[in-house]
Every structure is written in structure tokens, then in C-alpha cells.
Structure 1
Amino acid sequence: MVLLSFDIEEFDMPFEYGKDISFKDQIAISRAGTIAILDILDKYEIKATFFCTVTFAENIPDLIKSIIDNGHELASHGYYHSNFKPEHLLQSKLKLEELSGAEIVGYRMARMMPVDEKEIEKAGYVYNTSINPTYLPGRYNNFNISRTFFTKENVLQIPASVSPLIRFPLFWLSFHNLPLSIYKMLVSWTYRKDKYLNIYFHPWEFTNLDDFERFGFPAYIRKNTGEKMINRMENLILWIKFKNYRFGTFKEFIKGIK
């Protein structure tokens, strides 16, 4: 199963590069990207999982309704994207359930940072997908963690997909910067080995990020955003369908492995 997911959040990433961006623009940019994602999923009749912050959800009630009404899964990405306290785990779960009317069973920490699995269990989550089991300078050093799903503190841990052996990450940055043929080769290799794929993206990738003065992003983040990202995603989806890999939500995946 291909677990296609999107971390939908207030677009605060420019702050990491010394740029200021208003809250209104943070919401507007992520909103536009989320609409583009929903359009793609609807076009190709596939289901995905949306990990959403409460802050973003409160500002896009119509899109939360679309996510639920179209059979996608809503999960928690925390209360805020750039502020975390352990109590936010339960608070975000309860608030997202209130806003959506759907049961929230999954969690992904903002920026895939470490999170206490005991606290995840106490908050009532069934699964956690906050691990990128690779090495990324200045961000992750997770070579000691299993590449594939495992259980810890009674919570199913579903790491982001990395390739066998060399643990090359298949996350959003790789998708932007690798030739599609190479990315697809890594996807095939990983899927054959693991029998599933866990890849994630963000709504702002589906908007034009080329304005360096506004966002401050280096070339490896700006590359293949906006319309180019939409085209690449559609290309990937068509190829995955051609390979007869089935798309599904995390909830569906968990049912299949129990």
C-alpha cells in the first residue's frame, strides 16, 4: 500500500530563513496548496492522509469538511507548527475531532522531531509517524531506528520510507531534487522490499516558492514547486497506478497488518 500523506500547516518555514511572513499569508499559501492537493486526489480518485495542525484547521473549516467528505483521513500534526508542549498531544486530538467530527488516531510531530512515545500513548493515539529513519545533517541521525513499522509503548510506529541498505530518504526534498526516473527507481526498490511506502509532502510545495526575496529559500527547496510540483505529483501517481500499487490511508494500512 502507498501511504501518501500531506502535512498541512501554517506556512511558517520562511522564519527559518530569516524572512518575515504574516499569519494571513501563512494561511493563504497553505490553503491554496491544500486545494491543489485535493484537486489532484479527486482527479485520480485516490485517498490520502492529512496531518493537520489545529491552528490551520481552525482557519480552513471548508477544506477540513472536504477532506472528511471525500474519504481522506485526518490526523494530528500538533496544535501549532512552531510551538510544542506535551499537553498539545491530547489537546490537538480533541480539538481536531471537534472540528472535523472524525476520530483522530494518528500523530506526526512537526518537522519530524522526536516525541515521547509514552506521551503519545497517554494521549490516545494508535500510531505515530514522526520518524525519518535516515541521516540528514543538522536534522536527523536515526540510523539506529528500524526502517519499517514496529511497536513501541503500545503505539504503532510507522517511519517515513527510506530505501533499503543505504537508507536514502524518499521524502519531499528528494522528490523535488532527484530526476523522476531515479526517484521512481528508489520507490520500486523500497516497495518491493517493504510491501508498502510512506511518503509525505506539504501544501506550500504546490505553490510557487521562487521569490527568494520573499521566502529566502535555497535552490534545493525552490526547485520544482508550484505548477511543476503539480505536474510531477500527477506523473508519480499515474506511474504508481501503472505499477498496480494501491493507495490507502494510514487507518486502512493498520487494519491490514493487524
Structure 2
Amino acid sequence: MQSHPNQAHILTVDVEDYFQVSAFENVIARSEWDSLEHRVEKNTHRILDLFDKQNAKATFFVLGWVAERYPNVVKRIVNDGHELASHGYGHQRLTKLNQKEAQQDIEKSKHILEDISSTEVIGYRAPSFSINNSNTWVYQILKELGFQYSSSTYPINHDLYGEPSWPRQAYLTKENILEIPASTLNVANRNFPIAGGGYYRLLPYWLNKQAISRYVKAESVPYMFYFHPWEIDPEQPKFSQASLKSKFRHYTNLSNMESKIEKLLSSYHWQTVKAYYASDSVSTNSVAGCYCD
């Protein structure tokens, strides 16, 4: 079954500030975070204004660290009709945490988000898509904490994340957690990243749009897009001590990103993760079955 051209696709935002990205984890100490200029509140409100203008609904994967400091952002996300989900607490890649540390990070974030919003949080996205073959035990933690789905894998080759052999479409883990991978385009048995973020910012709009259109025609499930609030903020402070590769990835085309997102929002209808994957028909039509290692 192919996607209908008018089908709503899935819009997601990973709510973190510019200094919390994995590329800067060896440049900026966590102890410095509170002393730096915070821009996530303003940028997230800007995104919410943009979504309201375009009548787009999204899932916001919010860091517990951000929610603690800016509860008004969390409340507005919910009040505007978007889905609130967890991005963990401190943006530490799960590949760098042991099971106890991961459990504490994920549980802390869930409690903070639920206390602020008075809503149940059922979705989780690991920082930097950091669930892979080394830490599938995370799914048991998610089950015990009451999560229903995860969007924490990216089946591509990348220096910070990725398991290219893993499924490209949503599947149930043996723990009964629905894992929803970031969208990829499969060409000649190779997966190409098309889900957004830096790839969307770095590449020209026409190329992104062409890849997304090809995915929509070929796949039976909605396309899923993601980006971060700092990606629409060209005025953010710069870290000169970062590596050339990190600076290129992080700072290139920041001034163009908002207009590119506006184009994408106007090209498709957008919904939350929950709106699609919690529907009654998904279990038979859109989930690839149990993927057990």
C-alpha cells in the first residue's frame, strides 16, 4: 500500500539548546550550561508560532533539563494541541551511559514533563538516535517506565549514531515498545538520510523535496521530519574551539533553515507521532512486526 498524496506526515522537534548538541559535548562542560546564554525558550516559541500559522501539529521531544527551566514552553506545547514527549534529561547519548544511569536520566525527564504538563508522556527519543546493538536493554527500561513508543534509531552509517541493518519502518520490540526509525530513502540497497536535521539544512531544498516526494510515493507509512530550535537561530553564540567538522555541521545555513521549514510545512499536512501510530489501524497496516535480536 502506497502513501496517499494528501496523507498527513509526522513532524517532530527535538527541544534542546545550541550548547547541548553531541558535537559540542567535548567542548562545553555541563557545569557551564547554566552560565551560558539560553536561547531555547525564545526559539521554541518561534517554532510554535510558525506551526500555528501553518496549522501544523507536531511531537516535541523535550529535554527534562529544558523543561525544568522553562516550564512555560512545556505548557504551551500542550495547550497548542501538540504532543509532548521525552528527549531524556541531560542529552547524554545512551551509548555513553550504563543501565542505571540511563534509567535515572529517562525516569527523571518523564516525571518532570508529566508534573509540569499534567499529561501522560508515552513517547521517547534518545539523544542523537543513540539506541543500537550495544544497548537494546533500553527498551526494557522504557517499558517499565510506561512508555509506549520510541523514535531512537536511524538506519544509516554515521560517526555518532546509526545501525544501517536495522528496520526502516516501525516495528514492535520484544518488550512491546513500538520503535519508529527516522525516515530514510532506500536506493540500490543503501539507506540515505532524509529525515531532516542537519541533512535538511545542509542540502538544497529542491534535493530534499525530491527525496521526500520519492519516499512518499514508495512507502506505506508517513514520512517523519525532525529539527531543533537552534537550527533556526543564526544569531546564536559561536564556539570557535569546536572542530572544523562540528562547526560546519552546526553553523552552515542556519539563516536559511526557517524559510526551508516554512516551504516544507506548506507542502504537506502534518500530524503528531501519537496521532498516527496510536490509531487502531496501525497495528495491522503499518507495523513491520516484532524485531527481536
Structure 1 position 24, deviation (Å): 4.0
Structure 1 position 214, deviation (Å): 5.0
CA 1:179–1:25: 2 relative to 1, 3 Å = farther
- 2:260 is matched by which residue type in structure 1? R
Which one of 197, 212, 215 corresponds to residue 190 of structure 1? 215
Q: Which residue of 2 aligns with 1:243?
A: none
Q: Which residue of 2 aligns with 1:8?
A: 15
- 2:61 is matched by which residue type in structure 1? F
Q: Which residue of 2 aligns with 1:125?
A: 147
Any stretches of 5+ residues in structure 2 without a counterpart? Answer: 1-7, 284-293
- Does 1:94 find its partner at 2:104? no
**Residues 27 and 59, structure 1, Cα contact 8 Å, conserved in 2:** no
Deviations 1:151-182 (A, max 9, x none): 00201010000112331112311101111111
Structure 1 position 221, deviation (Å): 2.3
Deviations 1:100-152 (A, max 9, x none): 1111000011111115211111111110100011111x223412100000000
Structure 1 position 208, deviation (Å): 1.2
Bigger shift: residues 127-136 or 208-217: 208-217
CA 1:112–1:148: 2 relative to 1, 3 Å = same
Q: Structure 2 CA distance, aligned partners of 1:131 and 1:54?
A: 20
**Residues 130 and 162, structure 2, Cα contact 8 Å, conserved in 1:** no
Once the two structures are superposed, the pairs formed by residues 227-246 of structure 1 within 5 Å of their partners are 228-240=256-268, 246=269
SS class of match (1:218): helix
Any stretches of 5+ residues in structure 1 without a counterpart? Answer: 241-245
CA 1:71–1:25: 2 relative to 1, 3 Å = farther
Where does structure 1 differ by over 6 angstroms across 4 or more consecutive aligned residues? none
Q: Structure 2 CA distance, aligned partners of 1:78 and 1:213?
A: 24
Q: Structure 2 CA distance, aligned partners of 1:185 and 1:150?
A: 26
Which one of 224, 227, 232 corresponds to residue 201 of structure 1? 227
- 2:27 is matched by which residue type in structure 1? G
Q: Which residue of 2 aligns with 1:157?
A: 179
Figure out how many residues of one structure are paired with residues of the other and give that number: 251
**Residues 58 and 83, structure 2, Cα contact 8 Å, conserved in 1:** yes
- Does 1:169 find its partner at 2:193? yes
Q: Structure 2 CA distance, aligned partners of 1:203 and 1:211?
A: 14
Structure 1 position 45, deviation (Å): 1.0
Structure 1 position 27, deviation (Å): 6.5
Q: CA RMSD in A?
A: 2.2
Overall identity of the aligned pairs, in % = 29
CA 1:214–1:231: 2 relative to 1, 3 Å = same
Q: Which residue of 1 aligns with 2:72?
A: 62
**Residues 64 and 108, structure 2, Cα contact 8 Å, conserved in 1:** no
